[in-house]
């Protein structure tokens, strides 16, 4: 199965360059359909002509981003080595509220470029 997801410029660039191999999302109905071996086409939000095709290698489901941040390697989740000391699960609240996290849970989707 092929899925599509929109990405902001910085995470798009990091995935394209191979620096980000785990995409963080809410574990909503759309993400619950993702299976290992599925493809995800990431679309650049500012230029929909820019796209990246990846394959799903694994999924990691958690109750909250706090739990995810305590478990997964953040240097694979979109943080540079210089940003790791300041990385905080509350960074994800810019995208997903605590209420949404409690309702759906969260997922780290491990991907590989095709």
- Domains of the chain are 2-113 (2.30.130.30)
| Mean pLDDT computed over 45-55 | 97
Mean pLDDT, rounded, for 94-101? 95
pLDDT, average across residues 42-67: 98
pLDDT tens track for 98-109: 999 999 999 999
- Residue-level pLDDT at 14: 97
CA distances from 1 to 22, 43, 47, 59 (A): 19, 17, 24, 15
> What span, in angstroms and rounded, lies between the C-alpha atoms of 55 and 67?
24
- Residues 59-90: tens digit of each pLDDT: 999 999 999 999 999 999 999 999 999 999 99
């Amino acid at each position: 199965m092929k899925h599509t997801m929109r990405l902001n410029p910085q995470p798009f660039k990091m995935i394209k360059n191979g620096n980000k191999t785990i995409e963080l999302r809410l574990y909503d109905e759309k993400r619950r359909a993702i299976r290992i071996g599925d493809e995800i086409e990431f679309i650049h939000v500012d230029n929909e002509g820019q796209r990246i095709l990846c394959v799903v290698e694994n999924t990691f489901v958690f109750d909250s981003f706090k739990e995810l941040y305590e478990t997964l390697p953040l240097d694979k989740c979109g943080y540079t080595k210089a940003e790791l000391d300041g990385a905080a699960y509350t960074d994800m609240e810019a995208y997903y509220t605590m209420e949404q996290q409690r309702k759906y849970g969260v997922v780290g989707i491990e991907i590989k470029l095709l």
